[in-house]
C-alpha cells in the first residue's frame, strides 16, 4: 500500500472575511478525499473553442465541475490560486497506455511506478490496451477508484484477445471468445483489445462486445497469413484501430510493418481506406512517438526534459544498459516518417484521431528509453509537427479519447457536469504545444496532486529490484 503524502500550498476559505494559508495534505495514508475546489486566475483551454480564455473561476464539488464562471466560492472551498503564466487544460486520455514491464524473462504489469508517472504528466485516464496481468490491473483500478492509491482513472481492457495473450489457446472457438468477453465485462472491463487474432474470432469479439455496449480496438496487420487488415476489421464493425491505417496499399504478402515502410504517403489510393474510416466513424490511434522512440531518433520531440532512466530500479537500469539500435529500429525510422505524412492526410480528410503512447518497457525487445506518461507530450508534439493545429491536437488528447470510449458526457473537456480532471501547465499550448511538458499540478476528480511529488515517489521503482526479484514470484 502506498502511504504517499502529496503537499501543495493552498488557500483554505475559513470564512468570507478571512483566509488561512496552510500546507495541504491531499493524500494521507489510504484515503484521498475529493476536494471542494475553486481554481482562480490563469487561463483555460476548455476544449470547446480553438483558443484559451481568461479563467472566469472554475468550481469543482464532490469530484465534478459545477461552475465555469463564478467570482467567489462558498465557505469551506479550497482555493487554488494561479498566476498569469498558468494554463488549465482537460485531463489527458491515453488510449494505448501500457503499464507493462519486462525483465529477467518475466513480463509484469507495473502497479507501483507507472500509475504515478502517468498521473504526474497530466494523464488522468488510461486504457491499458491489453493487460498481461489483468487481475492485478483490475485490483489497481479498484484501489485507485477507492482513493487508496494515486494514479489515473483506469478503463480496464482485461486480457488480450489473440495470440498476444499468454493464456490464449490456438484452438479457441467463437464460444470461447463469447465466454471470455462475458467474464471480463462482469469483472468491470470498459473496452476490449485484440492483437494477433484471426478474422473469425475478431468478428465474434466485436459482436459480443457490442452486445455489452463496449468498444473494440485492435493491433492488426496487413492480412498476411491469418491476420486481419484494418479494412476488413472496419467492415466487421470495429470501433478503433491502432498503428496502421491499412487498406489495399498494405500488401498481404508481408507484414504491415514491412509493407507500410514501402508505401508512398501521397499515393491517391490511400484515400479509399481513409474515407472508409471517416464514413464508419472509426477512430485511429497512430502511436507515432513509439516508432521514433524505437528508432532512437534525435529529433526535438525525443529529447529528454526529465531523466526518465531515473525511474528504473538501479538493478534494472544496469541490465538494460545502452542497447544499440537494431534492425527493427532501422525499420521503425522509415515507419516514423511515413506515419507523419499519413496522419496529416488522414486529419485533412476528417479522420478521427486519438492519443496513445504504446510504451511498454521491455528488455528483451528493447523499444527505447521513453516511458508512458512523458510520451503523451511527445505524441502531441509530433501531431503538431505533422501539421495538425494545436487546438485540435489538444482535443485529440482529451475529448476525442472520451468520445472513442463513449465517455464524452463525463470526460474530455472543461464543462459543467463533467468529472473534475484538469492539468495545469506553464505557457500557452496554443502558441507552443511543448508547453504541455511543463505540467506541475494535476487535479483528478477534485483531488490535487503535485507533479514533483508524484515523480519523486516513482523514482527508482520501475522494474525488478534484483536478479531473483521477479523470478521468485
Would you say residue 18 has pLDDT above 50? no
The pLDDT tens digits of the residues spanning 356-408 come to 999 999 998 999 999 999 999 999 999 999 999 999 999 999 999 999 999 99
86 conformational bin, left if phi > 0, alpha if psi -120 to 50, beta if neither = beta
- Tell whether the torsion through CA atoms of 49, 55, 61 and 62 is positive or negative: positive
Question: What value does the CA radius of gyration of the chain take, rounded to a whole number of Å?
Answer: 22
* Mean pLDDT for the stretch of residues 53-73: 92
What is the grid cell recorded at 291? 516508432
Residue 11 has pLDDT above 90, yes or no: no
Q: Is 125 a residue whose pLDDT tops 70? A: yes
Q: Please, which residues have CB within 8 angstroms of residue 180's CB and are 6 or more apart in sequence?
A: 159, 161
Please give the pLDDT value at position 104.
86
The yes-or-no verdict on residue 3 having pLDDT over 80 is no
Q: Which residues pair with 86 in a beta bridge?
A: 426
47-56, 65-74, 349-358, 432-441: segment of lowest average pLDDT: 65-74
pLDDT (0 to 100) of residue 5: 33
pLDDT band at 77 (very low <50, low <70, confident <90, very high): confident
Least confident of 24-38, 315-329, 342-356: 24-38
Going along the chain from its start, the domains and CATH numbers come out as: 7-89+413-458 (2.30.40.10), 92-404 (3.20.20.140)
Mean of per-residue pLDDT scores for the chain: 92
Name which residue leads in pLDDT, 209 or 78.
Answer: 209
Torsion of CA 69, 74, 77, 78, to 10 degrees: 60
| pTM over cut 0.85 | yes
pLDDT, position 473 = 55
Q: pLDDT band at residue 70, thresholds of 50, 70 and 90?
A: confident
Burial class (CB in 10 A: 0-12, 13-18, 19+), 169: exposed
CA dist 244 to 205, 207, 253, 255, Å? 20, 22, 16, 11
152: Cβ contacts below 8 Å, ≥ 6 apart: 94, 97, 115, 118, 119, 123, 124, 125, 126, 144, 444
pLDDT at 316: 97
Joined grid coordinates for residue 346: 488522414
3-class DSSP state for residue 331? Answer: helix
In tens, the pLDDT along 182-191 reads 999 999 999 9
Q: Tell me the C-alpha distance between 178 and 186, whole Å.
A: 12
Model confidence at 2, pLDDT cuts 50, 70, 90, reads very low
- β-bridge pairing 53-54 and 43-44: antiparallel
Amino acid at each position: 500500500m502506498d502511504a504517499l503524502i502529496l503537499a501543495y500550498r493552498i488557500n483554505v476559505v475559513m470564512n468570507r472575511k478571512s483566509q488561512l494559508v496552510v500546507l495541504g495534505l491531499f493524500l494521507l495514508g489510504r484515503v484521498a478525499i475529493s476536494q471542494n475546489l475553486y481554481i482562480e486566475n490563469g487561463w483555460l483551454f476548455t476544449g470547446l473553442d480553438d483558443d484559451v480564455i481568461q479563467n472566469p473561476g472554475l468550481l469543482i464539488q464532490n469530484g465534478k465541475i459545477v461552475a465555469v464562471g463564478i467570482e467567489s466560492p462558498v465557505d469551506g472551498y479550497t482555493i487554488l490560486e494561479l498566476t498569469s503564466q498558468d494554463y488549465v487544460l482537460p485531463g489527458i486520455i491515453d488510449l494505448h497506455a501500457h503499464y507493462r514491464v519486462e525483465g529477467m524473462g518475466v513480463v509484469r504489469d507495473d502497479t507501483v511506478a507507472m500509475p504515478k508517472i502517468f498521473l504526474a504528466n497530466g494523464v488522468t485516464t488510461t486504457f491499458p490496451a491489453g493487460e498481461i496481468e489483468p487481475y492485478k490491473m483490475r485490483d489497481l483500478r479498484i484501489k485507485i477508484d477507492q482513493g487508496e492509491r494515486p494514479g489515473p482513472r483506469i478503463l480496464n481492457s482485461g486480457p488480450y484477445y489473440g495470440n498476444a495473450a499468454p493464456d490464449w489457446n490456438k484452438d479457441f472457438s467463437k464460444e470461447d471468445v463469447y465466454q471470455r468477453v462475458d467474464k471480463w465485462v462482469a469483472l468491470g472491463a470498459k473496452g476490449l483489445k485484440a492483437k494477433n487474432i484471426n478474422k473469425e474470432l475478431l468478428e465474434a469479439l466485436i459482436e459480443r462486445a457490442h452486445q455489452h455496449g463496449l468498444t473494440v480496438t485492435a493491433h492488426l496487420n496487413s492480412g498476411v497469413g491469418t491476420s486481419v487488415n484494418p479494412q476488413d476489421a472496419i467492415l466487421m464493425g470495429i470501433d478503433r484501430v491502432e498503428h496502421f491505417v491499412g487498406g489495399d496499399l498494405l500488401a498481404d504478402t508481408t507484414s504491415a510493418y514491412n509493407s507500410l515502410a514501402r508505401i508512398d504517403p501521397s499515393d491517391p489510393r490511400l484515400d479509399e481506406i481513409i474515407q472508409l474510416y471517416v464514413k464508419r466513424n472509426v477512430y485511429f490511434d497512430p502511436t507515432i512517438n513509439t516508432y521514433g522512440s524505437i528508432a532512437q531518433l534525435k529529433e526535438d520531440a525525443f529529447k529528454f526534459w526529465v531523466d526518465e532512466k531515473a525511474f528504473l530500479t538501479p538493478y534494472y537500469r544496469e541490465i538494460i544498459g545502452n542497447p544499440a539500435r537494431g534492425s527493427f529500429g532501422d525499420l521503425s525510422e522509415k515507419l516514423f516518417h511515413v506515419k507523419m505524412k499519413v496522419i496529416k492526410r488522414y486529419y485533412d480528410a476528417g479522420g478521427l484521431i486519438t492519443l496513445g503512447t504504446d510504451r511498454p518497457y521491455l528488455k528483451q525487445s528493447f523499444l527505447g528509453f521513453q516511458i508512458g506518461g512523458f510520451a503523451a507530450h511527445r505524441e502531441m508534439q509530433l501531431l503538431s509537427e505533422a501539421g495538425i493545429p494545436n487546438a485540435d491536437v489538444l482535443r485529440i488528447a482529451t475529448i476525442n479519447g472520451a468520445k472513442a470510449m463513449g465517455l464524452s458526457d463525463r470526460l474530455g473537456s472543461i464543462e459543467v457536469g463533467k468529472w473534475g480532471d484538469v492539468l495545469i501547465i506553464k505557457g500557452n499550448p496554443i502558441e507552443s504545444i511543448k508547453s504541455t511538458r511543463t505540467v506541475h499540478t494535476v487535479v483528478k476528480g477534485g483531488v490535487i496532486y503535485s507533479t514533483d511529488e508524484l515523480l519523486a515517489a516513482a523514482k527508482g521503482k520501475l522494474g525488478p529490484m534484483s536478479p531473483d526479484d521477479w523470478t521468485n514470484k
